[in-house]
Structure 1
Amino acid sequence: MTLMATIEPARRTIVLPAPPYTVDDLLKLPDDGNRYELCNGSLLVSPAPTKLHQLVIYQLQRILDKAAPPGLVLLSTVNLRITDKDFYIPDFVVATEESMHTDHLMFAPDELLLAIEVVSPSTQVKDRTLKASAYALAGIPAYWRIELGEGPALYAYELNGDRYDPPTAYKAGTVANLTEPFPVRFDPAELDSTRR
């Protein structure tokens, strides 16, 4: 089986080899607004984020930016290469400042202190199980999952060996008092607010 993609306006067709796919194969796909990720060589495709999804990421960045100590960088939608056949695009990350001086296209797992996913209807299974497992096995110290349909709610995971401990849940209307990767306090209800 081959995968074909057409790039507009030149209408050039890209033909990928049969799966399993590699990161190099993935980089040949067009920039068409979709997110292309890999899990053990299988292609995962997600549509562009919704307005609410983007608002939550923006508000999260504002909250974390106020609390972050020097030496850390806060970024959305970055490329994370775990292996040649495992590639993800977290919605948001906290990375070391040093990581900005290495590979300019992709992050390595050891450069991240926190990965965050905002759960959308099209990404529920990936964000709740697949990515939590992949990020833990890669050694990312903390993972946050934001559930929009719950008010929103924040589920904070901390690494224990090669897996995350069960998450601590913070529902809208309660204050999340987090210590990893740095101390920060906020109510998850603030994440879908349009107030400044």
Structure 2
Amino acid sequence: MTTELETFCTPEGGWTTADLDRLPDDNRRRELLDGILLMPPPPLTTHQKLTARLMAALDDMSPDGYAAVHGVEVRLNDRRTFVPDGVILHAANDDGHRHWYAPREVVLAVEVVGEGTETLDRVLKPALYAQAGIPFYWRIETEGGALEVVTYRIDAVNEVYTETGRWTKFVDTGEPFPINLPISRITPRVR
């Protein structure tokens, strides 16, 4: 009984990524915000399907030198780590054997706004990703059943993202590489 309790008691001084690495691999998403443990609810099936379809599409169209993956951590520092819905990495950093990456290894972070994570996905995470220097950010809105992809590029001087487009039919951008992606390709099928 004490092992379950001890597992989730806040360590003195707050949680670190080293503490997370010592937890059992139980398929729970764990994130840290300034040493505070966050455990967002598991994404719904439609959220997972959307993420899988998007990352597969981006991986298919990415040129050599890039890799699109999902379910990996981006460790901003030892007391801040998040699991974006998807990321595009510099391929040289993806050996297939890692579960976390530093911000300098990430080209694009993607968040699908989900119920219960709206403020994290729309406000907090983009602010912290920009401060960490991740060049591009995509936010996918799903309210009302229609998808909207909002794309951003970093203003590195001010460490904030600047919106570069809102896409409802297709994403047509040259950043971080040429992308012409019909929204229908990433929309989960209704069965």
In the TM superposition, 1:112-191 aligns within 5 A as 112-150=106-144, 151-161=146-156, 162-171=159-168, 174-191=169-186
In the TM superposition, residue 102 of structure 1 has moved relative to its aligned partner by: 10
SS of alignment partner, residue 30 of structure 2: strand
* Alpha-carbon displacement from aligned partner over 1:125-158 (angstroms, at most 9, x marks no partner): 1110111001100100000011111511101010
Which range moved further: 29-38 or 100-109? 100-109
In the alignment, the residues of structure 2 paired with residue 72 and residue 42 of structure 1 have an alpha-carbon distance, to the nearest angstrom, of 32
In the TM superposition, 1:83-102 aligns within 5 A as 83-101=77-95
In the TM superposition, residue 30 of structure 1 has moved relative to its aligned partner by: 3.6
Do the aligned partners of 1:33 and 1:48 also contact (CA within 8 Å) in 2? no
SS of alignment partner, residue 35 of structure 1: coil
In the TM superposition, 1:11-90 aligns within 5 A as 13-14=6-7, 15-90=9-84
- TM-score computed with the length of structure 1 as normaliser: 0.85
Partner of 1:108: 102
In the TM superposition, residue 166 of structure 1 has moved relative to its aligned partner by: 3.1
Do the aligned partners of 1:19 and 1:42 also contact (CA within 8 Å) in 2? no
In the alignment, the residues of structure 2 paired with residue 83 and residue 143 of structure 1 have an alpha-carbon distance, to the nearest angstrom, of 19
- TM-score computed with the length of structure 2 as normaliser: 0.87
1:5/1:45 Cα in 2 relative to 1: closer, same or farther (>3 Å)? farther
Partner of 1:9: none
Q: Provide the alpha-carbon RMSD of the alignment.
A: 2.3
Question: How much identity, in percent, do the aligned residues show?
Answer: 32
In the alignment, the residues of structure 2 paired with residue 48 and residue 98 of structure 1 have an alpha-carbon distance, to the nearest angstrom, of 30
Which range moved further: 115-124 or 19-28? 19-28
1:5/1:152 Cα in 2 relative to 1: closer, same or farther (>3 Å)? farther
* Alpha-carbon displacement from aligned partner over 1:58-77 (angstroms, at most 9, x marks no partner): 21123212311012111111
Do the aligned partners of 2:130 and 2:160 also contact (CA within 8 Å) in 1? yes
